[in-house]
Amino acid sequence: MLSLISLSCGARLSVSRQKLQVQNHLNRLNKPAVKTIQSPDGDIIDCVHLARQPAFDHPFLKDHKIQMRPSYHPEGLFDENKVSDTEKPKKGSNPITQLWHMNGKCPEGTIPIRRTKEEDVLRASSVKSYGRKKHRATPQPRSADPDLVNESGHQHAIAYVEGGKYYGAKATINVWEPKIQQPNEFSLSQLWILGGSFGEDLNSIEAGWQVSPDLYGDNNTRLFTYWTSDAYQATGCYNLLCSGFIQINSEIAMGASISPVSAYRNSQYDISILVWKDPKEGHWWMQFGNDYVLGYWPSFLFSYLADSASMIEWGGEVVNSEPDGHHTSTQMGSGRFPEEGFGKSSYFRNIQVVDDSNNLKAPKGLGTFTEQSNCYDVQTGSNGDWGHYFYYGGPGKNPNCP
């Protein structure tokens, strides 16, 4: 009897200890708000003073002077905007906003932060792992060991360049809302800026859109960023869920829902993302669309990327947890294979890299990679309107991908 009582006391203690850990973590993440906006999708957006954002919990940023704008933009950035309206490709983008904009905006001098709720943290396997990718989540083209690629259960359909020194990357990404089979799986479309080896010291900066029920508690398509300087082990996180990225923009919230999304054989929507290294200060900046410079990752966060990137990847990633021993039916992109083309399959267009002279250039020697092309595939092309582009994605489980 006694042992039963002590057991239940112990269980209660560990529950209350966990609650305390969760509460402390929430207090660290959710900063005091100047204004709060309720989003139609259930999110709460806190407008937090620039200087109170999570980045400044970092010991190295205690005396950091916020840079309110990059010293330089890449050359050639606005070339595609010089095309007259009549010449502009009919295919492509319609304006995109974030859902929370319907209910208000954040004042100048603040940044919008998606509030983390208790249930968000409780969905993670531990407080420590909340807001983090699993180890070895980066696609490694031509990996010597095919088992290693599938070890993490992550699958990819990507285009990539390697072998040079890269100082940034840009893409316009078609936005969809792929269906996810299991809550612990996700589907994302992003660019990766990589430095170092695929061992323990990989540096990565990532940005794009994702559907992740585990991270956000729903199936909405959301804008996200990620960074790590040690191959997803101890450093880095999604969005602003740890100290690192310094946001300066008051209009776009990391992790907030993107609206509207594309529909099969219907209106198509896309987002442009540019990440580049400021040649003067050395920080890695991010821009969303043509108008929103979001902020930067200070260069001291990284080892290899403090200098330059050695590889750029663009494309899709899903988690395949092989529910009931079969391949997952979690969709990548639109859930359709590349050969279906515009309006049906998802695309990346106008993909470019930034060279050592801070010029946006077409990628040279573009390769492609996918672990199982009968589950998810990728096909590249190029033309006048879209520059270098590719269609990618697939349905996952199907008769050829059991």
- Supply the residues annotated as catalytic: 206, 317
Task: Compute the CA torsion angle 391, 206, 281, 62 (nearest 10 deg).
Answer: 160
CB 55 within 8 A of CB 240: yes
Residue 134 — φ and ψ, nearest 5°?
-75, 155
Pairing state between β 387-393 and 346-354:
antiparallel
* Residue 392 DSSP symbol: E
Query: Each residue of 296-320: b (16+ CB within 10 Å) or e?
Result: bbbeebbebbbebbbbbbbbbbbbb
SS3 286: strand
Nearest partner of 376 among 150, 149, 155, 146, judged by Cα: 155
Phi-psi region of 168 (alpha: psi -120 to 50; beta: other; left: phi over 0): left
CB 382 within 8 A of CB 349: no
How far is 170 from 304, CA to CA, in rounded Å? 20
In single-letter form, the type of residue at position 271 comes to I
Q: List, in order, residues 6 or more apart from 57 with CB less than 8 Å away.
A: 28, 243
- Which residues are registered as beta bridge partners of 367? 160
Tokens of 96: 């995109």
How far is 164 from 87, CA to CA, in rounded Å? 33
How far is 207 from 123, CA to CA, in rounded Å? 23
Which runs of consecutive H residues, i.e. helices, occur in 78-234? Answer: 118-123, 146-150, 213-216
Residue 226 — φ and ψ, nearest 5°?
-150, 150
